[in-house]
């Protein structure tokens, strides 16, 4: 699944779509599902141009002089600009292109295009999406914001579940959450409100550094733990056999020896 790092690559690609007049927009019935009836991207965006390419968590935001063109990429969504794809970098993408998987397209007056390519049909095009429903972005998350994100009644939900909660921290997906907790030596099942101050600071540091390091390496699937996410996998730090269970609704791998 594209996580925050992949959407940041898409955002960089989408910068090439700025300041180009939009000729037409097509959004299929899957990608258009979440829009208010009557609010059709095909009617709204022609004649406008994208002015800025922003991102909040896994949501890509292309602002115009009118409404904002929002893109969600679901499980397998990729972005193509003028035929150039970043989808080959996607561990969870199909690794190939097919016309029938194009769910939405923006064609520019100059003849180029911006496409949402998505075999699983969970990607969405949104007119003026609700950005306030998302927590602070993982890339720029401050320690103060992180402390607030971990606040909960009692022990709170599992750390892993809280890291995945997009309304608390925007952008972290399954692979990144496991990698961050493994690096920070914290058990993913721990209540998110049970961390002491040193642990909170340590996890915050690893949230930030894991994102910047894996962004440079090439994506969410480039973590140190990735190669060991299989039965018989061992901790790259200490060789301990990894545990696997469902935490926060997702398959989670962790080391029972050093993650406490």
Binding positions for Zn ion, rule: CB under 5 A? 235, 237-238, 240, 255, 257-258
How far apart, in whole angstroms, are the C-alpha atoms of residue 107 and residue 209?
37
Residue matched to tokens 């009836």: 37
Element (H, E) at 260: none
CB of 226 to Zn ion, least distance (A): 15
CB of 213 to Zn ion, least distance (A): 19
Q: Which is nearer to Zn ion, 91 or 224 (CB)?
A: 224
How far apart, in whole angstroms, are the C-alpha atoms of residue 68 and residue 27?
15
Q: Which is nearer to Zn ion, 63 or 228 (CB)?
A: 228
Q: Count of CB atoms within 10 A of residue 138's CB?
A: 28
At 69, give phi and psi (nearest 5°): -95, 110
| Listed residue (18, 24, 26) closest to 53, CA to CA | 18
Q: Which is nearer to Zn ion, 53 or 159 (CB)?
A: 159
Q: Which is nearer to Zn ion, 120 or 189 (CB)?
A: 189
SS3 (DSSP) at 84: strand
Residue matched to tokens 């791998």: 253
Structure tokens at 2: 């594209």
CB of 186 to Zn ion, least distance (A): 12
CB of 238 to Zn ion, least distance (A): 4
CB of 104 to Zn ion, least distance (A): 43
Q: Which is nearer to Zn ion, 137 or 187 (CB)?
A: 187
């Amino acid at each position: 699944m594209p996580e925050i790092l992949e959407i940041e690559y898409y955002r960089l690609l989408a910068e090439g779509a700025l300041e180009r007049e939009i000729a037409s927009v097509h959004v299929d019935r899957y990608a258009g599902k979440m829009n208010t009836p009557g609010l059709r991207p095909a009617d709204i965006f022609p004649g406008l141009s994208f002015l800025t390419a922003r991102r909040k968590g896994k949501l890509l935001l292309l602002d115009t002089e009118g409404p904002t063109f929002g893109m969600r990429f679901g499980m397998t969504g990729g972005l193509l600009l003028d035929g150039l794809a970043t989808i080959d970098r996607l561990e969870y993408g199909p690794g190939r292109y097919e016309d029938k998987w194009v769910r939405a397209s923006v064609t520019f007056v100059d003849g180029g295009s911006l496409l949402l390519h998505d075999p699983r049909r969970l990607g969405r095009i949104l007119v003026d999406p609700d950005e306030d429903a998302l927590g602070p972005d993982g890339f720029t998350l401050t320690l103060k914001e992180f402390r607030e994100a971990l606040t909960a009644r009692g022990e709170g939900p599992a750390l892993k579940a809280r890291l995945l909660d997009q309304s608390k921290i925007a952008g972290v997906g399954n692979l990144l959450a496991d990698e961050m907790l493994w690096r920070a030596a914290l058990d993913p099942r721990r209540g998110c409100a049970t961390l002491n101050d040193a642990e909170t600071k340590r996890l915050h540091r690893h949230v930030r550094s894991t994102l910047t390091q894996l962004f440079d390496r090439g994506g969410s699937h480039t973590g140190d733990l990735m190669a060991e996410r299989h039965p018989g996998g061992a901790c790259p730090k200490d060789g301990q056999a990894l545990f696997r269970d469902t935490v926060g609704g997702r398959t989670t791998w962790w080391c029972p020896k050093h993650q406490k």
